[in-house]
């Protein structure tokens, strides 16, 4: 009688165990691919090519650099605008000869200082913040950059400041608006900033990819929903020309027609 020859040269229990592990691994890979949430589109900041890009393009004022390094030491330091984003916005502000800028979400003032440096001596950055701590920390470096007098810090919810500016008749007088405060109000910020901008003015919205969550927000993730709604609104908005750049966590530029 023919004896059944085992097809594997390992005991059955071990073979079964390996098969189960293999199946689990494959399922993990599949689910991992399916539910993986992309964090960023560009290489990591410590990637040599990204470092090369920064080293060949960044022209950071020494006080601005000190402010960035100081901010990175703080617990929420990562919420600062990235240096290449700030430099791009400052260059665009120069290009359109900006004099009046709105900055929603001051934090330690990195974006406010970068923009103030791009303005002529009589230029003004109205910057909005609810937490007095971070601007207080950054203020000595605003002074060192010699832009402190250009920065008008409003310590109250940004919506209140925007409504005050509209009530004071400043609609259509700002050249640049940067929206980088809380996400729950981002649609209201967008609409008010658009009113405050002059035709040809530029509106920048930060973090529009929301760490990839815009693809498929988790149930109850109000911030991701708000960002998605704003992105959709901007896409359909015939009042602006737009670009969405993959810099940082996504940067939308909307130019008022
Ligand atoms: C992402 S950070 C801003 C980063 C800053 N633009 C920079 O370049 O470093 C967001 C800031 O918005 C502030 N913020 C949150 N809710 C706000 C509100 N309702 N009005 C004004 N500022 C607010 C936070 O306290 C925080 O400092």
Please name the residue that has the structure tokens 């980088």: 180
pLDDT score of 18 = 52
- Measured between alpha carbons, how far is 34 from 24 in angstroms, rounded to an integer? 15
- Measured between alpha carbons, how far is 113 from 242 in angstroms, rounded to an integer? 25
Weakly modelled stretches of the chain, pLDDT under 70: 1-39
pLDDT score of 40 = 75
Average confidence score pLDDT of the chain: 89
Is the pTM here over 0.90, yes or no?
no
Answer yes or no: are the C-beta atoms of 243 and 204 closer than 8 Å.
no
45 CB-near residues (< 8 Å, 6+ apart): 51
Answer yes or no: are the C-beta atoms of 85 and 113 closer than 8 Å.
no
Testing ligand 1's pocket by substitution, the residue of 80, 130, 183, 227 carrying the most ligand atoms inside 8 A of its CB is: 130
- Measured between alpha carbons, how far is 11 from 4 in angstroms, rounded to an integer? 14
Question: In ligand 1, which atom is closest to the CA atom of 134?
Answer: 27
Testing ligand 1's pocket by substitution, the residue of 69, 177, 182 carrying the most ligand atoms inside 8 A of its CB is: 182
Closest CA to 116 of 183, 180, 175, 186: 175
24 CB-near residues (< 8 Å, 6+ apart): none
Q: What is the complex's ipTM, to 2 decimals?
A: 0.99
Cα 153 to ligand 1 centroid, rounded to whole Å:
12
pLDDT score of 1 = 34
Residue 121: DSSP 8-state: T
Was domain 48-256 assigned CATH 3.40.50.150?
yes
Q: For the chain, how many residues are written?
A: 257
Closest CA to 115 of 92, 138, 131: 92
């Amino acid at each position: 009688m023919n004896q059944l020859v085992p097809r594997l040269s390992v005991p059955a229990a071990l073979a079964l165990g390996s098969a189960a592990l293999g199946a689990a691994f494959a399922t993990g890979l599949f689910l991992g691919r399916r539910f993986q949430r992309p964090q960023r589109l560009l290489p990591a900041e410590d990637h040599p090519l990204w470092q090369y890009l920064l080293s060949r393009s960044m022209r950071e004022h020494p006080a601005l650099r000190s402010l960035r390094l100081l901010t990175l030491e703080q617990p929420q330091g990562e919420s600062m605008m990235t240096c290449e984003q700030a430099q791009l916005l400052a260059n665009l502000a120069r290009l359109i000869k900006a004099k009046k800028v709105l900055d929603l979400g001051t934090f330690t003032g990195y974006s406010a200082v970068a923009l103030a440096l791009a303005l002529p001596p009589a230029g003004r950055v109205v910057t909005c913040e609810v937490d007095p701590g971070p601007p207080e920390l950054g203020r000595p470096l605003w002074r060192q950059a010699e832009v402190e007098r250009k920065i008008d810090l409003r310590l109250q919810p940004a919506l209140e400041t925007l409504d005050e500016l509209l009530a004071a008749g400043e609609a259509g007088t700002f050249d640049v608006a940067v929206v980088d405060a809380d996400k729950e109000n981002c649609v209201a910020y967008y609409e008010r900033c658009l009113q405050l901008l002059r035709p040809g003015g530029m509106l920048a919205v930060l973090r529009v990819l929301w760490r990839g969550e815009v693809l498929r927000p988790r149930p109850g993730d109000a911030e991701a929903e708000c960002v998605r709604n704003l992105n959709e609104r901007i896409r359909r908005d015939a009042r602006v020309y737009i670009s969405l750049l993959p810099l940082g966590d996504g940067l939308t530029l909307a130019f008022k027609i």
